[in-house]
Structure 1
Amino acid sequence: MLANSSMVFAGIWAALMYASGMISNVGIEAVADLAASEPDRAVAVWSTLDIVTNGLGGGNELVGGIWILLVSIAGLITTRLPRWLNVVCLITAVVGLVTVVPDFEAVEMVFSLGSIIWFLGVGITLLRDRTPVRTTR
């Protein structure tokens, strides 16, 4: 159940990130096209683009925080990852969840840096430990 829940939130988070990136790419092109001929309209489109992309993937890290929290819980239960890495994961998850509070958006950078440290740590751990994992279904 924990693995399935984690996969669902990972998929949602990935989809939101891709959607945000694609909308940004298309929107930036539209803003650039409008900038020379209709600068006021370009500003309005840019503002709208910013709201949409932040709403999808940049304004808060709720979905990412939930996913990382679920993975951290799984890591603590299975002890497959080093304890320090699970602690980084828990802190990162809590910080991600806090980004939904309007006055705490600045902690998004902490979430991003914690995620990078965690991803690198997981990657290095998985590359070092080549023991096959037995899955149950």
Structure 2
Amino acid sequence: MDTLTNQMTPSKRPLTPLAGAAFIGMALCYVTLFVIYGAVLRMPAEANTTEKIAYLIENKGLLNLTYVLGYVLFSCLLCFCVNVIGGLYQQVSPTAMAMATLFGYFWGVILLCAGMIGISSHELLASYSNSNPAAAEVIYYARILLTESLGGGIEFVGGVWLLLLGAVSWRHSLLSKPLCTFTLVKGAIGAATLFSAEPVLRDLFGITGIIWFLWMGLVMIKKPT
């Protein structure tokens, strides 16, 4: 049986249902992004750079929404959950708690930065696309580089947080073995994106994220405070 909340300090226990709701909220952010990018936003594969910039400007409002949900809101929910989960590590493994919490906060911060970069880049593209096309192209490629590095393509930091969480949970029986195993697998997928640019790893990290966040959310909501 999962014993996550039973191991938490009393001050953290009242927050576990809220953290559970936050985990589910993060899963819903992932689902929303999959729906938008899978069914609504489809950039033409054979478009040139100018056409891609025009597409981004045309769909600026919807794209900004995806950055708000998938990066800004997600990172805020994530930081709250990292704080609550930190209450568990404080009891059973202080060193692992410090490392895991650090990587969890790092993940939240870089996602927040990626989201704000994405939103501001759309505004800049709209400003320069007509007056200075060369500058617009520079902004376009800088946007790709920064957002992909910070959270759109490389999920290394989040992967390390999950690996630490899974390892400590397994060692101290803080979560069920299936959930621990799934956490470790998801963490390994995230870490692997540092060494491979294959889209399948990024997509797999996102798909498993929906399951993991829902699973963690239900575990924390069901536990007594």
TM interval, short-chain normalised: 0.7 to 0.9
Amino acid at match of 2:178: W
Q: How many residues matched? A: 131
Please list, as runs of the form range in 1=range in 2, the aligned pairs for 1:1-137 lying within 5 A after superposition: 1-130=95-224
Query: 1:113-133, CA deviations, whole angstroms, 9 ceiling, x for partnerless residues?
Result: 112211110110111111x5x
Cα distance in 1 for partners of 2:203, 2:119 equals: 22
Q: Secondary structure at the match of 1:64?
A: helix
Task: Evaluate the alpha carbon distance shift between residue 22 and residue 103 of structure 1 in structure 2; reply closer, same or farther with a 3 A threshold.
Answer: closer
Q: Is the 8 A contact 1:76 1:83 kept in 2?
A: yes
Cα distance in 2 for partners of 1:74, 1:127 equals: 21
Cα distance in 1 for partners of 2:146, 2:140 equals: 10
Deviates more, 1:97-106 or 1:16-25: 97-106
Q: TM-score, normalised by structure 1?
A: 0.87
Cα distance in 2 for partners of 1:67, 1:11 equals: 9
Q: TM-score, normalised by structure 2?
A: 0.55
Query: 1:79-99, CA deviations, whole angstroms, 9 ceiling, x for partnerless residues?
Result: 232222112111111111111
Cα distance in 2 for partners of 1:103, 1:22 equals: 23
Cα distance in 1 for partners of 2:208, 2:97 equals: 21
Amino acid at match of 1:35: S
Query: 1:38-62, CA deviations, whole angstroms, 9 ceiling, x for partnerless residues?
Result: 3333122111111112122222111
Deviates more, 1:113-122 or 1:63-72: 113-122
Q: CA deviation at 1:103?
A: 4.6
Q: Is the 8 A contact 1:81 1:122 kept in 2?
A: no
Cα distance in 1 for partners of 2:147, 2:198 equals: 19
Deviates more, 1:103-112 or 1:56-65: 103-112
Gaps of 5+ in 1: 133-137
Cα distance in 2 for partners of 1:118, 1:74 equals: 17
Please report the RMSD computed on the Cα atoms of aligned residues, expressed in angstroms: 1.5
Q: CA deviation at 1:112?
A: 1.4
Cα distance in 1 for partners of 2:163, 2:198 equals: 19
Q: CA deviation at 1:105?
A: 4.3
